[in-house]
Structure 1
Amino acid sequence: MTEVVDAQAASEISLYKGDEWHEVRAKHIGGSEIASLFNVQPEYAVGAHGLWLIKAGRVPAPEVDNQRARWGLQLEEAIAQGCAEQEGWKIRKGGYFSDPHCRGLGATLDYVIEEGEEGRTTPGILEIKNVDYGVHKRSWADGEPPLHILLQLQHQLACTGFTWGAIGELIGGNDLRVYRFEARPKIIAQIRAKVAAFWQSIDDDIPPPVDDSSQTGAVLRALNTPIVDEIADFKLDNELPDICAGLLSSASRRKAIEKEEQGYKNRLIAKLGTAQKARCAGFFINTIVVPEKAPRAALPGEIISGRKEARRYDVKEISL
């Protein structure tokens, strides 16, 4: 129980607001960031190199502002209360916990499960996820959350000292599922080792290799702005020629794949004719049509162009 008491004490002095909160978070690896240190972050998250630049203070953290994130926050309380009613739990809003055993490891919990789970020696963590059906089908495979969410929960368990937690997933607005998980000491040890090594690399000013995350690309562009009209001399650089060759090779393969894809799309259009939907062995095809939009007269100061019809072909595998 010592570890739990330590974590609870840490949470009581770690409820921050405003600028103080941002300052504290800048000095910690949070639950939504830990996957980057394992190179399993989702597509919308920054990779390890971009995260290093942010935490080292080289560039401000990007603002997270999208409809899914905003609605997730709006619905969080309702989903949490639904989980509590379904599972018979007593819950409270979570606070900020910092791991007393690892420098720079902190987490903001959605909710804490205080009562209602028999046989538990500690409170539990309740992490809320609002997921549309398509994302659930693609990413929540084999009856459990994706790896970056599982790491997030273990990260939170490391910070709190709690021995268990749950992930509440609302799918498509009407299907609520709860997944329980125990604390995994070996995974928690790996998380602490990764975080410790990350902060040591900042102390040593040794960033990780540049990664392939699109968000890392955004961070690098922000860091290297504005562009200056000059010619940099890399004649003695042995790495840049490989980078240039790799970029051209990747672009060539992308064009070949795009051409191959267009060929299949053309054959699909030829098969479907004027039918919007079709079935075949193992597949269902739906043609999504965005109607043509005629140009209109521009208001003062406006430039309005027309829009041609666009078509997108949504092909799904189905059970026979």
Structure 2
Amino acid sequence: MTDTALAGASAPAAGPTVLGWFEPGTTDWHAARANGIGGSEIAAVMGISPYESRFSLWHRKQGLIAPVEESEVMYWGKVHEPAICARFAELHPELFVSMAPTYAAADRPWQIANPDRLIVPAPGADHPVEIVEAKTARDDHGWGKAGTDDIPVHYRAQALWYLDVLQVSRCHVAVLIAGSEYREYVIDYDEAEADLMVAAGAEFMRTVEANERPDIDGHAATFQTIKALPDGQDDIDIEVTAARRDRYFAALDAAKAADEEKRAAAGLLLDEIGTGRRAVHDRKPVATRTVRDGRTHSLQPARNRSTT
């Protein structure tokens, strides 16, 4: 192993298996990941994905709902990926950056990695020493100081998942923020974190094989999955328990109260802003007032709502 390969890690001794070269989002790409867990999916298994829940992912793996449809965010991320990777290569002429296939861990065929780029020891080499991930973001919420490892937690999980599969120690994360600000971050392999994810992934795959459905949670993807599962409608009544009835009614009452409090709080803030553009506290943004035809259109909260 090279100096930059993992030392003493729990990853398999043999190198990863190359599954093939697939364009992300294509039928072949989905097929290669169908019976495993990819880097963008392990966050759902861990309960830290903003896009997918453990419940929704389980149903996708069972073939009960369709693969995730490409959103505008996903589309533009795919479009910008080559340019972001090209910028990384331009800024690091000392590194040899190459395209990457789709991999599976040597003794865990369900652990899938599809890194954006590889860093190889020499031109033409096919074994990576580090990897590169390209990301886009609307703003810098969740992104810390450039050069650190302070990135959104679901992207960190993806990077560590790939490092564990490829048995390399470093992932460079290059991000384009708001279409014009380029930053780089560095994620180094953490054996303890990787072991936790591998164990969680193995347990998730066991539940898929055993047909053990995860519990319903409050994630938006879970609710969308539940809505998508029934096909048609029977003109019948279904008796439910008192506990589920009471929980549903209590949630409706709580949501109504929360909506009323939100409107009151927003009204007080807008009243204080007046004709201004932003509300700030201690020079940190609280909310932004948008205007159409001279009138207030909306009040947009700051992405970072820390009170400290």
Aligned to 1:178: 184
Aligned equivalents of 2:232 and 2:292: distance in 1? 37
Quote the residue 1:247 is aligned against: 248
Q: Secondary structure at the match of 1:106?
A: strand
Return the alpha-carbon distance in structure 2 between the equivalents of residues 86 and 279 of structure 1.
38
The SS at the match of 1:75 is: helix
Q: Equivalents in 2 of 1:160, 1:257: separation in Å?
A: 47
Task: Give the superposition deviation at 1:286.
Answer: 4.1
Mapping 1:199-218, distance limit 5 Å: 199-218=205-224
Q: 2:44 aligns with which of 33, 36, 44?
A: 36
TM-score by length of 1: 0.79
3-state SS of paired residue (1:261) = helix
Cα drift, residue 70 of structure 1? 1.4
Change (3 A) 1:20 1:83: closer
Equivalence for 1:87: 92
1:313 paired residue among 279, 285, 299: 299
- Segments of 5+ residues of structure 1 without an aligned counterpart are 235-239, 293-308
Tell me the C-alpha RMSD between the 2 structures: 2.7
Unaligned ranges ≥5, structure 2: 2-10
* Conserved? CA contact 2:14–2:106, under 8 Å: no
1:162 Cα deviation after fit: 1.8
Q: Does 1:78 align with 2:83?
A: yes
Q: 2:26 matched to 1:23?
A: no
1:286 & 1:46 partners in 2: Cα distance? 29
**TM-score (ref. length: structure 2):** 0.82
Quote how far apart the aligned CAs of 1:155 are.
0.7
Change (3 A) 1:280 1:60: closer
Shift of the 249–122 alpha-carbon distance from structure 1 to 2, 3 Å rule, reads same
SS of structure 1 residue aligned to 2:48? coil
Cα separation, 2, equivalents of 1:46 and 1:15: 25
**1:135-214 maps to which residues of 2 (within 5 A)?**
136=140, 138-141=141-144, 144-214=150-220
Q: 1:24 to 1:86 in 2, by over 3 A?
A: same
Instruction: Identify the residue that residue 7 of structure 2 maps to in structure 1.
Output: none
Q: Does 1:62 align with 2:68?
A: yes
> What is the DSSP-based 3-state SS (H/G/I as helix, E as strand, rest coil) of the residue aligned with 2:110?
coil
Closer, same or farther in 2 for the Cα pair 1:103/1:246, shift >3 Å?
farther
Amino acid across the alignment from 2:282: G
Quick check: 1:257 aligned with 2:262?
no
SS at match of 1:35: helix
Residue deviations 1:27-47 (CA, integer Å, cap 9, x gap): 1111111011111111xx121
Compare CA radii of gyration and give the structure with the larger one.
Answer: 1
The alpha-carbon distance between structure 1 residues 288 and 164, as it changes in their structure 2 partners (threshold 3 A), is same
CA contact (8 A) 1:30 1:106 kept: yes
Matched residue pairs, number? 283
CA offsets 1:36-87 (integer angstroms, 9 cap, x no match): 1111111xx1210111111012222231222x22111111111111112223
Superposed CA deviations along residues 172-204 of structure 1, whole A, max 9, x for unmatched, are 233222112222222222222111111111221
CA separation in 2, counterparts of 1:192 and 1:168?
A: 25
- Could you say what secondary structure the match of 1:224 adopts? coil
Partners of 1:14 and 1:98 within 8 A in 2: no
